[in-house]
Structure 1
Amino acid sequence: MIRPLSRTGLVLDIVGAVLLFALLTPLGVVFYAPQPDVAGSSAVNVIGLISSSVFLFGGVAIGRLAPGLALAAAWAGAIVQMLAGFGPLPTDVAILLVLYATSAWGTRRVLWWGFGSVIVGGIVAALYMVVVIGGAMLGSGSGWELVTGGTLLVAASIMALGFAWVCGLLWRVVLRNRRTRSAQLQAEALAAEEQERVRIARDMHDVVAHSLAVVIAQADGARYAAAVKPEIATETLGTIAQTARGALSDVRMLLTQLRHRQGDGPQPTLADLETLFAQVRQAGIEPRVTVDPMPPGEPPGAIQLAVYRILQEALTNAIRHGDGAVDVHLAWLPDRVDIEVRNTVSPESTPGTPGGHGLIGMRERAQLVGGSLQAERRGAQFVVQSSLPIGAPQ
């Protein structure tokens, strides 16, 4: 029954209702109260008119807060007005405002109660004017004239009340469309944020997993080399420090993007592949890279990023589970780029475990640019194959 309404809105409704009461009620008293009514008393006439106005404008005051109660108050005011013997009064504008409120802000039940009030109220008002005050309004015509006049009154009453109700219904539709649009925009913003967070999480995994794999491989090598050639251990520790610093820089960049909700920071390109291969070599893996045919021009940035990340994750798997040899083949065709990474797998290793984030990330990278990716174990080798569509070279 009670709707959430701001204090400012409630105060404005009450002030507006009080002003209408102060303006329209005196007009009714001056122009209608002196006329004799069914009780034959002018004092009763004034009391009835004021009581009716209190109910009607009380309904206006709570029209947005409680449309159902406002409709009940309007009916009470109309009944008091008819019992006092009045015809249409200036204060009846409150009935139109309450009907507007029922269809604009009421619940579904109150909405249809308002529609029913339009029909029933129009018929009751017309019958009241024909039967109770028909002599004053319709004269002393024949029965047919009374029927015709009554029918016209019913139609006019329903049209007047229905106009207010329909206006409120139109405003209800406008409010619903606004809420729908607002919810749509909010959902789109949340989806964009979630997509961006997933992208950053994917980048974070690629950076951290690759860097840690290199660091672990170097650390294991340094531990065994320290006893034989301390200078190799020192060089290896320098490589570990350099790799860790690079990973820390990348992580800081990704965290900055996450904090500021923007994904337009610097991204790896084909020019960074040499650095990637150098890191893999420092981890003890010698990638045999073949590029045939070469790129005919500058591929799109999204394709370059996808190629880099897929190779990064495939080489990381080779570091973790391989035996020191990995073959990388890139074929830059006019309409696509084909990627193949093969490495021999140790018998005890299980690369590509279902549920692993690395393979999922590679597949997502390929799918984001409209491509495909397969990663599976074939005998003693683990093979990653991907095909990414590209447009005209830039």
Structure 2
Amino acid sequence: MFRSVPRFWLVFDIVGSAVGLLLTLPLTFTFEAGTMSRWIPDGTASYLLVLLVAVILWGAAAISRLSPVLALGVAWFGAVVQMACGFSPGAYDLAILAVVFATSAWGSVRLLWIGGASALGGGLLAGIYMSLINEQALIQDAETGLRVALVAVLLGTVSVLTLVMAWGGGLLWRVVLRGRRTREAQVRAEAVAVAEQERVRIARDMHDVVAHSLAVVIAQSDGARYAAAADPAQATAALVTIGQTARAALSDVRLLLAQLRHSEGEGPQPTLADLETLYAQVRAAGVEPRVTVDPTPPGEPPASIQLAVYRILQEALTNAIRHGTGDVDVRLSWYADAVHLVVRNGVPATPRQTSAERGHGLIGMRERAQLVGGTLVAEHEGSDFVVSAALPVGPAPA
């Protein structure tokens, strides 16, 4: 029955209706036709009744935004009172246009069609009514009922067109409002999508950090266990590496969790300068990466490319520690428009589908490459497992 309307628009409708009442009443009283009645000869009573009808109609306009269905009922009541008193149409009837507009602009779907039917039916009824109250004058002038019928059709057509135009204007405004809501919903959906992408990025970073750190810790702990009896110094060094790796991983995880809690904060991301630290961790885990950089970067690569190279290398080296055999060959080729990255390591004599090939590791590397507009292929080549990526040095495509 009642809509939620901001206070500003409610006050605006009430004040606007009051102004409309004050402007249309003088026009109505200026032209005697507006206050002439076939059934009420008393002029004072006619004026008071006209005032009552005008108040009813503009009152309906005042609440048309707040309650279109109630406004339509009040407007019909005012129109019936006007016809029952035999008043000719006056300027105050403009309030009906505001009510019809409101039924199609803010009413329910059912009220939308009820308002359209009211515009058609009310226009026809107004044409018939106006022809009836002028019947005697028309017959005296033309002395024929055909003239009355033609005038009734003309007046009815004008009334219908006027009311339908008001209803159509409200329908157009309804479409505009729906378009705005659709755009707002689209903006909200895009914001949710961006937030979801950020959570996925953080989850991917979390996977990279934890998987790499745990691989190093596991390798070092296994080595320390075997070396504890034969070489205590080596076991102690392994424990030191485990502690350093665990502390670094804990720091990275805390940073990622802070980003997750405060999505507006972008923590520092790994760059090419951090690759030596990554290689050192891999060496500490017992795997020797043979790194070749040819050609070298011609300048400072974009931060997104540096991050992608670091994360892809981190995941590929982690998989080499966990599932590969022997040393690892790493080749980086920096060109003016792209960087090519190849990581090659041996695989067990009986290759099997590892978690890197079917789990989050390979998916994460591919997503890293796709995020910057590149491609990544991971496959077996003879006795080796090769990860090959090509990343464009430039903005990712939209």
Q: Calculate the TM-score normalised by the size of structure 2.
A: 0.83
Residue 140 of structure 1 corresponds to 140
Residue 86 of structure 2 corresponds to 85
CA distance in 1 between counterparts of 2:360 and 2:259 reads: 21
Query: How do 1:80-159 and structure 2 match up within 5 A?
Result: 80-135=81-136, 140-142=140-142, 143=144, 145-147=147-149, 149-159=151-161
Query: How do 1:3-82 and structure 2 match up within 5 A?
Result: 4-6=3-5, 8=7, 12=11, 19=18, 37-38=38-39, 56=57, 59-60=60-61, 62-82=63-83
Query: How do 1:183-194 and structure 2 match up within 5 A?
Result: 183-194=185-196
Task: Indicate yes or no: 2:386 matched with 1:383.
Answer: yes
Cα separation, partners in 2 of 1:390 and 1:140, compared to 1, 3 Å: same
CA contact (8 A) 2:35 2:87 kept: no
> What are the Cα deviations for residues 36-82 of structure 1, in whole angstroms up to 9, with x where unaligned?
54376789868976775676456435423442343233223312321
Cα separation, partners in 2 of 1:33 and 1:341, compared to 1, 3 Å: closer
Task: Indicate yes or no: 2:370 matched with 1:367.
Answer: yes
CA distance in 1 between counterparts of 2:211 and 2:64 reads: 62
CA distance in 2 between counterparts of 1:25 and 1:295 reads: 79
Residue 267 of structure 2 corresponds to 265
Query: How do 1:276-295 and structure 2 match up within 5 A?
Result: 276-295=278-297
> What are the Cα deviations for residues 298-317 of structure 1, in whole angstroms up to 9, with x where unaligned?
32222222111111000000
CA distance in 2 between counterparts of 1:358 and 1:382 reads: 14
Report the alpha carbon displacement of residue 32 of structure 1 after superposing the two structures with TM: 8.4
Report the alpha carbon displacement of residue 253 of structure 1 after superposing the two structures with TM: 2.3
CA contact (8 A) 1:21 1:53 kept: no
CA contact (8 A) 1:10 1:65 kept: no
Residue 228 of structure 2 corresponds to 226
What 5-or-longer segments of structure 1 have no aligned partner?
A: none
Report the alpha carbon displacement of residue 226 of structure 1 after superposing the two structures with TM: 1.7
> What are the Cα deviations for residues 196-245 of structure 1, in whole angstroms up to 9, with x where unaligned?
22112111111111111111111221122222222222222211111122
CA distance in 2 between counterparts of 1:274 and 1:354 reads: 26
Report the alpha carbon displacement of residue 127 of structure 1 after superposing the two structures with TM: 1.4
Which piece of structure 1 moves more, 182-191 or 287-296? 287-296
CA distance in 1 between counterparts of 2:205 and 2:304 reads: 13
Which of 216, 219, 225 in structure 2 is aligned with 1:217?
219
CA distance in 2 between counterparts of 1:294 and 1:20 reads: 77
Which piece of structure 1 moves more, 343-352 or 12-21? 12-21
CA distance in 2 between counterparts of 1:89 and 1:272 reads: 83
Which piece of structure 1 moves more, 123-132 or 328-337? 328-337
Cα separation, partners in 2 of 1:278 and 1:349, compared to 1, 3 Å: farther
Cα separation, partners in 2 of 1:16 and 1:134, compared to 1, 3 Å: farther
Number of equivalenced pairs:
390
Percent of residue pairs identical: 56
Cα separation, partners in 2 of 1:306 and 1:154, compared to 1, 3 Å: same
Amino acid corresponding to residue 196 of structure 1 in structure 2: E
Report the alpha carbon displacement of residue 7 of structure 1 after superposing the two structures with TM: 7.8
Report the alpha carbon displacement of residue 287 of structure 1 after superposing the two structures with TM: 1.1
Residue 317 of structure 1 corresponds to 319
What 5-or-longer segments of structure 2 have no aligned partner?
A: none
CA contact (8 A) 1:273 1:308 kept: yes
Structure 1 counterpart SS, 2:248: helix
Cα separation, partners in 2 of 1:36 and 1:70, compared to 1, 3 Å: closer
Q: What RMSD, in angstroms, separates the aligned Cα atoms of the two structures?
A: 3.4
CA contact (8 A) 2:21 2:92 kept: no
Structure 2 counterpart SS, 1:227: helix
CA distance in 1 between counterparts of 2:351 and 2:225 reads: 22
Q: Calculate the TM-score normalised by the size of structure 1.
A: 0.84
Report the alpha carbon displacement of residue 99 of structure 1 after superposing the two structures with TM: 0.6
